[in-house]
Amino acid sequence: MPNPKPAPLNFNPDDPTGTTWALPEGAIARIGKGYQEYNTDREISVSPDNTFFAFGTRLGLWWYDISSMLPIALWETEQGLISAVDISPDGRLIAYSNWNGIIKVRDIQSGECIIEINRSEIYTTKGHITFSPNNSWIAIVNRGGIVEILDVQSGECISQIEQESNDGKVYHISKLQFSPDGQYIAATIGKQTYLWNPKTGSIITKFTGWCFAFSPDSGLIACENTTIIPDTTPVRGISDVSVWDIKTGKRIVHFTEHKELVRTIRFSPCGQFLISHDLSKILNVWDLSMGVLKETYIDCGRPFYLPNGRLIATDFNREIIEVWDVEQGEKLQTYEQQVDSIGYRWFSKCPKLLIAHTLSDERTKTENTHTFTTLNEPVCFPRKVQFRDGEALALRGNRQYIVLFNIINKISQRISIPSEFHDSIKTFNILHEGGMLVVNWNHNNNVYKVIKVCNAEVIPIAEFTPPMQLGNDTFAFSDERIAFAGKGGIIYLWDLKHSKVPRQFTGHTEHVWSLAFSPDGKRLVSGSSDKTARIWDVDLDEEIATLPLNKPFTTMALTHSPCGKMIAGGMLRELNIWCAEKLVLLCSIPQPEDSIRPFALAFSPCGRYLASGTWWQKDMGNMAIRLWDVATGENLHTFWGHTTDVETLAFSPDGTILASGSFDGTALLWDLKPYVDT
């Protein structure tokens, strides 16, 4: 029987991509689906019948149809910040947790909340949630590293399972799973696998190893065991595989043929065979009754058993993703691989979803490579937004591209960086004469590079290795210069036309969080954890003055008015506006309790208005973006939308649209026409 479809909350058939779904009041478009962590599959869950899936992001909970790969619902945008998701084995319920420690269980078909469990501070969840096979319990991991078993209907804690460690440390739990009959629960903690009784929380046994699998009848558990090869650079390891009888605690078979680390272990549905797959892409199939190697497959992707015993593998190459029938040696499907697209993240984190989509489309299989608009939608992490003109907004993608969003037709395109410059993009700046400057950072050797991107031409400009990793670095651009800083308090200034070696400005003694050039590029203002805000003469390489502060707060955001006569600063609980000529404080605007961290700022092109965006704190709802009258300090309007930190703001050239970029992995466009004079 098919699983019930999710309630189509916020679904709009006129917008199949979801760009305008669940927009907050005053917003006209959204770019991005919300950020999802890269290295975990805990924010994605496939329905038992493989017809739809849910994935949680910092924006909310999205539902997608697997066959079409189109969105069908968007839930939980009021708080977002989804950290873990799981669909019950019967397909009727979904459980998810968020950053505030709230766990919700909802009926999928109606969307009704069955129970909401609000955890105390020490018990907030940390990225794990999984249903028991009988749908009655959920297992979670709290921030103290304790596994808890909770009753789905009452929220009651059935048992608590604490880590056992000789050194007193709390280790990361990378995998948490019930046995098929629900009598056991296992977890990978650090480099060991633990097995417990979920009803009592008592430990049954533990094994050395990174990955494990239960047999279909729950009588056996298979574990990988790593042995480090001595005197190897880099350090290498090899794995053997053991299968244990859970009730007797005896090892029944032991396999040692692998020469690399094993990362996947699975039992066949009949329980007769075990597969193990290592980093060199060797797949071994073991006959458990005979205790022998049955088959070896070379250059094989990550393997999975289907319920009917069919062995499928997913293979991620540089430009394509392939799905294979392992035993038949038949390629079932080929997908275009767009790294750092949302589809690539789904498929790489949850190959079960990739296989489900392949099989849903197998009847129409062709030799052509499949591409999907929604699969190739770029991942956004907009720590900077900037209007290129009145029709296009540029924002940072995840790592290796800039996203250009057309405001008129609401279509996104990538501006990709060629492979020889494939470092992590830190920031960018649109140039007046066209093109943009992009600052890349290579985290392996701590090298910053500046390149100019104009159409298809990429020109290296400069590179620099600071004496230390800056950490939470901040940047500012003028027409000819780039300033950047971070921990240590030193400000580096690149004069791109005259010198490839940055100059250094010293004076701050702690982390520099904010930098801003004056419109003419002759002055630079900086804010630091040393609780000073300083003005620098760029041409003379010297400090001019320290801006006066009402209280010794860190100035987390700084910006100049377009005319250059004012400087605005955002700090805890207040906004300050200074006269840039006389360097005196013109006014200080106290902030309401719901927006005490106004750490994103932007002046309107006319200079009459100032926008401020709030950073998140635990138990907050959506973030405030406030529009201020600079002359009077009046709050003209407040927009509520992003689920976490507003990190960047920008006005359109005509001042009628405000763009906001957030740590939630989205950018929003806000209509200002009702609130400003144009």
CA distances from 155 to 137, 141, 147, 352, 366 (A): 9, 15, 15, 30, 49
**N residues, the chain:** 678
DSSP class per residue in 327-388: TTTEEEEEEE--TTBHHHHHHHH-HHHHHHHHHHTGGG--SSPB--TTTTPBPEEEEEEEES
Q: Does residue 574 sit within a domain?
A: no
pLDDT of res. 165: 66
How do 220-229 and 61-65 pair as beta strands? unpaired
- DSSP at 647: E
Kindly report the number of other CB atoms within 10 A of residue 294's CB atom. 14
Kindly report the backbone phi and psi dihedral angles of residue 344, in degrees, each rounded to the nearest multiple of 5, phi listed first. -60, -40
State which H helix or E strand residue 473 sits in: none
- Which tokens belong to 328? 């038949």
What's the sign of the alpha-carbon dihedral 344, 346, 352, 354?
negative
For residue range 602-661, what is the model confidence (pLDDT) as tens digits?
999 999 999 999 998 877 778 999 999 999 999 999 999 999 999 999 999 999 999 999
Does 498 score more than 60 pLDDT? yes
Burial of residue 590 (number of CB atoms within 10 Å: 0-12, 13-18, 19+): exposed
User: CA 455, CA 431: separation in Å to the nearest integer?
Assistant: 13
Which residue in the block uniquely carries the two structure tokens 């009949």? Answer: 270
The mean per-residue pLDDT over the stretch 100-105 comes to: 90
SS3 content of the chain, % helix, strand, coil (to 5): 5, 50, 45
Does 367 score more than 80 pLDDT? no
pLDDT of res. 60: 95
Q: Does residue 117 sit within a domain?
A: no
The mean per-residue pLDDT over the stretch 235-250 comes to: 88
Q: Does residue 677 sit within a domain?
A: no
Does 232 score more than 70 pLDDT? no
Q: Does residue 219 sit within a domain?
A: no
Q: Does residue 204 sit within a domain?
A: no
First-to-last C-alpha distance (Å) of the chain = 59
Per the CB < 8 A criterion, the answer to whether 463 and 456 are in contact is no
- DSSP at 6: P
Give the structural domain span for 402: 379-464
Per the CB < 8 A criterion, the answer to whether 403 and 412 are in contact is yes
Q: Which residue has the higher pLDDT, 131 or 501?
A: 131
The mean per-residue pLDDT over the stretch 127-156 comes to: 90
User: CA 438, CA 449: separation in Å to the nearest integer?
Assistant: 8
- The alpha carbon of residue 475 and the mean position of all alpha carbons in its chain are separated, in whole angstroms, by 22
Nearest residue to 539 via CA among 558, 555, 556, 518: 518
- Which tokens belong to 509? 């003694």
State which H helix or E strand residue 54 sits in: strand 52-56
Q: Which residue has the higher pLDDT, 480 or 232?
A: 480
Residue 412: pLDDT band by 50, 70, 90 thresholds? Answer: confident
pLDDT of res. 442: 84
pLDDT of res. 79: 86
Kindly report the number of other CB atoms within 10 A of residue 26's CB atom. 19
For residue range 185-225, what is the model confidence (pLDDT) as tens digits?
999 888 888 899 999 999 998 888 888 999 999 999 999 98
Q: Does residue 396 sit within a domain?
A: yes
Does 235 score more than 80 pLDDT? no
Does 116 score more than 80 pLDDT? yes
pTM of the model: 0.91
Peptide bond preceding 234 in cis form (omega within 30 of 0): yes
**To the nearest whole percent, how much of the chain has pLDDT over 90?**
61
Strand order through the sheet with 220-229: 212-214, 220-229, 236-245, 251-255
Residue 343: pLDDT band by 50, 70, 90 thresholds? Answer: confident
Q: Does residue 425 sit within a domain?
A: yes
Q: Which residue has the higher pLDDT, 234 or 100?
A: 100
Q: Which residue has the higher pLDDT, 646 or 376?
A: 646
- DSSP at 419: G
The mean per-residue pLDDT over the stretch 22-44 comes to: 87
pLDDT of res. 369: 60
pLDDT of res. 363: 47
pLDDT of res. 168: 65
For residue range 446-467, what is the model confidence (pLDDT) as tens digits?
888 888 888 768 888 888 888 8
What's the structural domain count of the chain? 1
Q: Does residue 243 sit within a domain?
A: no
**CB under 8 A, 24+ apart: contacts of 321-330:** 321/347, 321/354, 323/354, 323/355, 323/358, 324/300, 326/283, 326/297, 326/300
How do 491-495 and 635-640 pair as beta strands? unpaired
Strand order through the sheet with 646-651: 27-31, 667-671, 657-662, 646-651
User: CA 347, CA 343: separation in Å to the nearest integer?
Assistant: 6
Does 36 score more than 50 pLDDT? yes
pLDDT of res. 371: 61
pLDDT of res. 452: 87
